[in-house]
Amino acid sequence: MSDRWMGALAMATAVFVSLIGCSREPEVVLEGSVAFVDVNVVPMDREQVLARQTVVVHQGRIMTMGPYRAVEVPGGAQEVDGRGKFLMPALAEMHGHLPSPQMREPDARNLLFLYVANGVTTVRGMQGHPSQFNLRAAIDRGQFTAPRLWLGSPAMRGGEGAGAVTTPEEAAQLVREYKVKGYDLVKVQEGLAPHVYEAIAQTSRDVGIPFGGHVSDQVGLRQALASGQKSVDHLDNYVEALVPDAARQSPGLQAAGALVDTVDESKIPELVQLTRNAGTWVVPTMVLWETAFYGDRSSTQLILDRPEVKYMPPETVDTWKQAIDDRLKTADLPTSRRVATMRRTLLKALHDGGGRMLLGTDSPQIFSVPGFSIHREMKLWVEVGLTPYQVLESGTRNVAEYFNAADDFGTVALGRRADLLLLVANPLEDVGNVARRAGVMLNGRWIPEDEIQARLADIAAFYGN
């Protein structure tokens, strides 16, 4: 990603360390029970609805589930009326950017709440910083309302300048350091030379930490898949991999338009097969790319289309507007549309061919507002041709499988973590129903929709909206 876009991202995603010790929200104590009574359960173990169930949660876990007339609600339990509603696992954002030390404390709290407000209770952070360990610890202690975090390392990139990783020895040392420090993933980015990338891959295998993210143009998709990269985000390098060798160049992350005239779509089945064989997960981040890099709408149009920007700091929104309008001054819009169409073709082919898909939006990024962006991403996947169930899989059960935690979360079942989403309509009929909430359960704490809306109104007022 270019320095310009990275600068915009850094401004949008920085976080204030003092929030760790200055909690203004009550600590969440997982005591007592909550019972969802007479609710339709969408368990996400398969495409089905279990009608008229009662689900009892105790200390953050699903303790009882069965036909509502057969399940006795424990005395003293908080009862949530589930009649006509649908209970499903909460969602995950699998390419998010977390607060880092520059952000003001209120902005950090607001940003993290936006995820929860939209039923996103798990975020895989993909722009690592040491302060995020303290942030995660504070969340785990229940000091404020925020999703569960999985932490990617600071990005390992090539090229020149401070922070660039240019030798295999340096790469191997950093991987070992990130493992010892407790990161969950080594984040790889642009510019890595093939021999440096292979040192990352080999050391990651040796010490037992996955690596994922971007695909360096010098490395290429095929080598990344063969090396065991855990995830490829943004469909990075898939368009480039369709270009015959004789026509290939290194156009950079946002310049696939320079290659679109030379792609050979007959190569798509090969890429799908390689992806499936490698077991690599794909996090496409489609809406962001169609907005920020290949879109044709001005910032004025986007502001009207995305009212959720009222929940972001005005200076962040101003940066987003500038980025959009500057790009449009020189954009080749017909070519951009062709690239966007090609990306949609690749998404559908990867899914239909058995690729392992994860829901992610690169939020907060250019007009990608945390939590709200998930709904836009899911809608696009349905437009491409996936069913609502297939889309929901990518943000629930697939996520648990990615983390090797299918017995812990991602489905509604006995013993699973109680990260849940209560909806007023069936999400298997229309993925848009995921936005029609009655409330969110986060680690066993029930947050009704009126409480969510009150907090959102406070956030909008805080930013003068």
Strands 420-423 and 356-357: unpaired
pLDDT of residue 255: 57
Which tokens in the block code for residue 376? 């836009």
Q: What is the DSSP letter of 26?
A: P
Phi then psi for residue 411, to 5 deg, are: -140, 165
pLDDT score, position 9: 39
What stretches of 390-454 adopt beta strand conformation (E)? 420-423, 437-442, 445-448
Residue 95: both structure tokens together: 């390419």
Domain span including residue 269: 3-25+92-404
The CATH number assigned to the domain holding 281 equals 3.20.20.140
Per-residue pLDDT of the chain (465 residues; tens, 9 = 90+): 433 333 433 433 333 333 433 333 433 444 579 999 999 999 999 999 999 999 999 999 999 999 999 999 999 999 999 999 999 999 999 999 998 888 898 999 999 999 999 999 999 999 999 999 999 999 999 888 999 999 999 999 998 888 899 999 999 999 999 999 999 999 999 999 999 999 999 999 999 999 999 999 999 999 999 999 999 999 999 999 998 875 555 544 445 666 777 889 999 999 999 999 999 999 999 999 999 999 999 999 999 999 999 999 999 999 999 999 999 999 999 999 999 999 999 999 999 999 999 999 999 999 999 999 999 999 999 999 999 999 999 999 999 999 999 999 999 999 999 999 999 999 999 999 999 999 999 999 999 999 999 999 999 999 998
Name the E strands within 328-399. 356-357
CA pseudo-torsion sign 183, 117, 20, 314: positive
Is the pTM of the predicted complex or chain greater than 0.85? yes
User: Is position 171 within any domain?
Assistant: yes
Q: Which two tokens stand for residue 128?
A: 């690592």
Separate counts of helices (H) and strands (E) for the chain: 16, 16
DSSP 274-320: HHHHHT-EEE--HHHIIIIIS----HHHHHHH-GGGGGS-HHHHHHH
**Which residue has tokens 């299918």?**
406
**What is the reported pLDDT for 4?**
35
How far apart (Å, rounded) are the C-alpha atoms in residues 61 and 65? Answer: 11
**Residue 378 counted as domain residue:** yes
Q: How many independent structural domains does the chain possess?
A: 1
Q: Rounded to whole angstroms, how far apart are CA atoms 422 and 416?
A: 16
Which three-class secondary structure state does DSSP give residue 388?
helix
In a domain, 54, yes or no: no
- Taking the C-alpha atoms of residue 146 and residue 164, their distance in angstroms, rounded to an integer, is 32
Within a domain: 292: yes
pLDDT for 247: 55
Q: Is residue 241 part of a domain?
A: yes
Q: Are 117 and 146 in contact (CB under 8 A)?
A: no
Is position 217 within any domain?
yes
Looking at the DSSP assignment, which residues form a beta bridge with residue 151? 125
44 in a structural domain: no
The pairing of beta strand 50-58 with beta strand 61-67: antiparallel
**Which region, left, alpha or beta, applies to residue 9 given φ > 0 means left and ψ of -120 to 50 means alpha?**
alpha
DSSP run (H or E) holding 125: strand 120-125
Cβ–Cβ under 8 Å, residues 135 and 98: yes
Taking the C-alpha atoms of residue 122 and residue 416, their distance in angstroms, rounded to an integer, is 14
- What is the amino acid identity at position 164? A
- List the Cα angle 462/6/350 in 5-degree steps: 100
Conformational region of residue 220, where left means phi above 0, alpha means psi within -120 to 50, and beta covers everything else: left
Using an 8 Å Cβ cutoff, are 439 and 422 in contact? yes
Q: What torsion do the CA atoms of 360, 356, 156, 177 make, to the nearest 10 degrees?
A: 110
E strand or H helix at 92, and its extent? Answer: strand 91-96
Q: Which residues pair with 368 in a beta bridge?
A: 365
Please give the backbone phi and psi of residue 133, each rounded to the nearest 5 degrees, phi first. Answer: -65, -40
Report the pLDDT value the prediction gives residue 3, as an integer from 0 to 100. 38
Structure-token pair, residue 197 = 């990338």
Q: What is the pLDDT of residue 29?
A: 42
Question: Looking at residue 246, what is its pLDDT?
Answer: 54
d(CA 126, CA 148): 14
Q: Would you say residue 78 lies in a domain? A: no
Token readout for 455 is 């907090």
pLDDT at 28: 44
